[in-house]
Amino acid sequence: MRLTTKGRFAVTAMLDLALLGGTRPVTLAAISRRQRISLSYLEQLFGKLRRHALVESVRGPGGGYTVAREFGKISVADIISAVDESVDATQCGGKQNCHDERKCITHDLWANLNQHIFDYLGAVTLQQLVEEQKNRQNGALPVTAQLSDMRDSLFIRPRPAASP
């Protein structure tokens, strides 16, 4: 399983944009400088983010991008999906053909892991990431630590072996 730079950079750029609080449009050049992400790469990502109504563009002097929705209504999964990124732990890309054109014996395990990861990323909002960054600046506990109960319930733990 691999989350590529496309998804990581999209989340990073959206968080950068959100941290400015939506008070004014932000240029991609400014995000590029702060986050050390190629400007041309950001242009590609923001085209996709705009088409999925996650950001809005403002033209003209003082133009740039703003977050298009309330931060609490945008999940990390929304951002990753908008840039055509998938999180897939299966060897076959979900096609169920990795073992002589049949589903391998561990396919369901990896498919379930995919769903748990996507559920987790769907539960983390841009608002939570903004609050976490602000809390870090103030020395507080990260907001995502509050998701530990959910994270614990999502992942399947091995059952202890039955005693003879």
Summarised one tens digit per residue, pLDDT across range 31-82 is: 999 999 999 999 999 999 999 999 999 999 889 999 999 999 999 999 999 9
pTM for the model stands at: 0.77
Query: What secondary structure does DSSP assign to 75-134, as a single string?
Result: BHHHHHHHTT-----STTTTSS-TBTTB--TTHHHHHHHHHHHHHHHHH-BHHHHHHHHH
Range of the domain at 80: 5-154
Report if residue 17 sits inside a domain.
yes
Report if residue 160 sits inside a domain.
no
Looking at the chain, the whole-number percentage of residues with pLDDT higher than 70 is 81
CATH code of 145's domain:
1.10.10.10
What value does the mean pLDDT take over residues 99-111?
Answer: 82
How many domains would you assign to the chain? 1
